[in-house]
Chain A
Amino acid sequence: MRGENLINNPWAPMSSDIWGRIFDFSDYGELLVLVHNSIVAGAVLGVVCGLISTFVMMRDLPFAVHGISELSFAGAAAALLGGISVVVGSVAGSLVAAVAIGALGQRARDRNSIIGALMPFGLGLGVLFLGLYQGRAANKFGLLTGQIVAVDSVQLRWLVVISVVVLAALAVMWRPLAFASTDPETAAARGVPVRLLSPAFMLILGLTVAMSIQIVGALLVLSIVCTPAAAAMRVTASPVLVPVLSVAFATTSTVGGILLALGGSVPVSPFITTISFVIYAVCRGIAALRTHRGRQPVPLSAER
C-alpha cells in the first residue's frame, strides 16, 4: 500500500516514507498485547519519576540527574560487555555516582564542578565498553537513547522492585525532605536531620535514574525526571498539586510515548521527550498568560 502511495504521489515521496516509519498504526491491537509489559513499565516509571522530579526541582538537581545518568550508562555498558544484567550494571553505576555527588558536593558550586568532571568520564567509559562489545548494535544504541519498546518480564520485575523501594522511602521521608529541600536552615533548627536526608535522597534518585535509563536512555532521562515537575511548578504552587500534576505529566509522557511508538521502527524516547516538552511549553504558556493578565504569577492553589 505504501509502495503504491509512493508512486501515485510524486509530491512527497520521501516524507511519507519517513512518517510511515515514525507512525504506523496497522495491526495495533496485536501489538498492544505484545507490549503489555512496556506499558506497565511506563506507568510505573511515570509515577516514580513524577514524584522524584518534584524534589529534583526543589533541590535544584537537574544537572546531578544528568551526571548520574551518564555513570549509570557506563555501568550498564560494562554489564553488557561482561554479560551480566544491564539493570544491575546501571543501578551500580547510578549508586556510585549518587554517592560521590552526595558526599563531595554539599554546596551547589562544588556539586556542579564534580558533576562536570564525572559526567564525561562516565560517558567515555561507557563508549569504551560499548566499543569492546561484540553483540547486537540495538543494545548499544538503546542504552543511550532508549529502547524500541520491548521490555521483557525480567526487566519489568526489576523495575517494580526498585519502584517499591523508592516509593516506600519517599513515603517515609516526604515531609522532612520537603522541609529540608525548601528551607534547610529552619528545618535543621526544627530538628530535621538535614545532613542525613541529603545522601538518602541521592540514593533513591540514583535508583530512579537507573530505572529510567531502561526506557528512555541515558541521554534523555531529564525529560521524565525533571521536566514534569518543572512544568507543574509553572502552573501551581500548591505542595499537593505539584506532585499530583507532575505524576500526571510524567505518566502521560511515558505511556503516551510508548503507545505512539508502537508501530514505528524508531525508539520510544523521541515520543516521550516530545510529549514531555509540549506539556512543559503549554504550562509555561499558561503561566505567561496569567502574568500578562496581571494576576499572581502562580495563582492556582488547591483548597488546602
Chain B
Amino acid sequence: MTSPVLELQSASLAYGTRQLWSHLDLAVAPGEVLAVLGANGSGKTSLLRAILGLTPLSGGRVLVAGAPARRGSRLIGYVPQLRRIDPLTPLRARDVVAQGVDGHRWGLGRRTRARRRLVDAALDSVGAAAYADVPVGVLSGGEQQRVRIAQALATDPRLLLCDEPLLSLDLQHQQAVIELVDNRRRTSGTAVVFVTHEINPILPYVDRVLYLADGRFSMGTVDEVMTSRTLSSLYGVAVEVIRTGGRIVVAGVPDAYVHEHDHIAQAVAP
C-alpha cells in the first residue's frame, strides 16, 4: 500500500465557539478522488484552507505527502471556481500558467527558456496550446477553466484541490474539466480532493465521499454516504436520497443550508 498523499489526523476546526468539524481522520491515496460535499458554512472551504496551510487547525494535524501542511506548497495544485475576468486584464493564457509556476516568488522574475517550456507543456497537456497567447479575459468560461487546470498542474503537484471548478459551466465544459482532472489522476497518480455541491457530474470518478453538515461529517464510498439514513442522521431531519438512472437526487435538506460558496481568500469568520 502506497503512503497517502493527504492525511488528516483527528483534525478539528473551530472559529470561536463554533465547531466546523472535529476529530476528522482521513487519508487520500495517490490517484484517489475524494468528493467533499456539504452545505454552505459546513466547512468545505475551511478544509481546503487548512490543507493549503492558510488556516491553522484548532486540533489535530494535516499532512501533505507525509509533511505538515505549509502555505505555498508546490505539492498542491489548486483549481478555483470560474470567475468573471475583466476583458482588459493584462494577462494571456500563458501568463496565467506562468503565475502558477513562479507567481508567488518575490522579485521581478526572469523569463527563462525552461520556464517557457514548462508553461507550454502545461498548456499542451490540457489542450489549450491554441490560445496560449490570447488574453484570458476574452476566453470562454470553458477555455478559462482549462487554463486554470494547466496553471494548477504547472508545478507537477501530487495533490489537486478543486474548489467548485464546475460552477457556472455548461454540461459539455463540465465534462471536459472532469476528464482533464481524471486523466491527470490516472496518468500521474495525482490525488484529487474535489469540493462540489453537485455530485452527479463527477459520480463515475469518485472513490470516496466526505459529507460535511452542521458540525458533523460522514465519510465512505458513495454507496455508504449517499443514503437516506446517513444524510438524515447528519442533518437531524428526514432527508431522502433517491438514485435514479445513474444520478443521485437529495431531497429534504433544510432551507438553512442553501448552497452558496465561500471564497478561499476571504476570512470565513471573525
List residues of chain A with CB under 8 Å of any chain B CB: 54, 57-58, 171-176, 178-179, 182-192, 194, 232-234, 236-240, 242, 296-298, 301, 304
CB of B141, distance to nearest CB on chain A (Å): 15
Interface check B18, CB cutoff 8 A? no
B107 touches A233 (CB 8 A): no
Residue B256 at the A interface, CB < 8 A?
no
Inter-subunit contact B87/A176 (CB<8 Å):
no
Complex: chain A residue closest to B90, CB-CB: A242
Our pick among B80, B100, B107 for the contact of A174 (Cβ within 8 Å) is: B107
B167 at the binding interface (Cβ < 8 Å): no
Contact of A190 among B72, B92, B95, B109 (CB under 8 A): B72
Dominant secondary structure at the B interface: loop
- Contact status B104-A184, CB under 8 Å: no
Task: Decide yes or no whether B130 CB sits under 8 A from chain A.
Answer: no
Chain B contacts for A178, CB-based, 8 A: 99, 103
The 5 closest A-B pairs by CB, nearest first: A191-B72, A237-B135, A179-B103, A189-B78, A191-B71
Asked whether B90 lies within 8 Å of A173 as measured between CB atoms, the reply is: no
Interface residues of B (CB under 8 A from A): 48, 52-54, 71-73, 76, 78, 80, 83, 87-92, 95-96, 99-100, 102-109, 111, 116, 133-138, 148, 151, 161, 263-265
Could you write out 25 A-B pairs with CB less than 8 Å apart?
A57-B88, A174-B108, A175-B102, A175-B103, A175-B107, A176-B105, A179-B103, A179-B104, A182-B91, A183-B96, A185-B83, A185-B264, A186-B78, A186-B80, A189-B52, A189-B54, A189-B264, A190-B78, A191-B73, A191-B104, A233-B90, A237-B137, A298-B138, A301-B92, A304-B116
**Chain A positions within 8 Å of B91 at CB level:** 182, 237, 239
Q: What chain A residues lie within 8 Å of B53 (beta carbons)?
A: 191
A231 CA / B115 CA spacing, docked (Å): 29
Complex Cα spacing A188 to B51, Å: 13
Question: Given known contacts A188-B265, A298-B138, is B90 in contact with A176 (CB within 8 Å)?
Answer: no
Question: Which among B90, B105, B107, B108 has the greatest number of chain A C-beta atoms within 10 A?
Answer: B90
Closest to A243 in B: B90
Which residues of A lie under 8 Å from residue B148 when comparing CB positions?
A: 186
Choose among B87, B96, B104 the residue that contacts A192 (Cβ–Cβ < 8 A): B104
Cβ contact within 8 Å between A297 and B87: yes
- Residues from chain B with a CB closer than 8 A to the CB of A297 are 87, 135, 138
A184 to B83, CA, bound (A): 11
Are B95 and A239 interface neighbours, CB within 8 A? yes
- Which B residue's beta carbon lies closest to that of A176? B104
A188 and B134 in contact, given A175-B108, A237-B89, A238-B90 (Cβ under 8 angstroms): no
Q: Which residue on chain B has the smallest CB distance to residue A192?
A: B104
Whether B80 contacts A185 by the Cβ 8 Å rule is yes
Chain A residues touching B, majority SS: helix
The CA-CA distance from A185 to B73 in the complex, in Å, is 15
Residue pair B135, A298 in contact (C-beta under 8 Å): yes
Find the B residue at minimum CB distance from A297. Answer: B138
Other A-B contacts than A185-B264, A192-B104, 13 sampled, CB-CB below 8 A, are A57-B88, A174-B108, A175-B107, A175-B108, A175-B109, A187-B265, A188-B264, A190-B78, A191-B71, A237-B88, A237-B90, A239-B90, A298-B87
Residues of B within 8 Å of A188, CB to CB, are 52, 54, 264-265
Question: Closest residue to B89 on the A side, CB-wise?
Answer: A182
* A residues in contact with B107, CB < 8 Å: 171-172, 174-175
Chain B min CB distance to A52 (Å): 14
If the complex has contacts A175-B103, A176-B104, are A304 and B90 also in contact, measured as CB distance less than 8 A? no
Instruction: Specify which of A176, A232, A296 is in contact with B103 (CB 8 Å cutoff).
Output: A176
CB distance from B166 to the nearest CB of A (A): 16
Chain B neighbourhood of A239, CB < 8 A:
90-92, 95
Provide the bound-state CA to CA distance between A242 and B111, in Å. 16
Contact, CB under 8 Å: A296 / B90: no
- Separation of A182 and B89 alpha carbons in the complex (Å): 7
Interface centre among B73, B99, B107 (most CB of A within 10 A): B99
Q: Are B92 and A237 neighbours in the complex by a CB distance under 8 Å? A: yes
A292, chain B: closest CB distance, angstroms: 15
**Does the CB pair A192–B90 fall under 8 Å?**
no
A175 contact set on B, CB distance < 8 A: 102-109
A58, A194, A234, A301: which contacts B265 (Cβ < 8 A)?
A: A194
Residues of A within 8 A of B87 (CB): 297-298
Q: List B contacts of A232 (CB < 8 A).
A: 90
Q: How far is the CB of B25 from chain A (nearest CB, A)?
A: 24
Residues of B within 8 A of A242 (CB): 90
Residues in chain A near residue B103, CB distance under 8 A: 175-176, 178-179, 187, 190, 192
A253 CB → nearest B CB, Å: 20
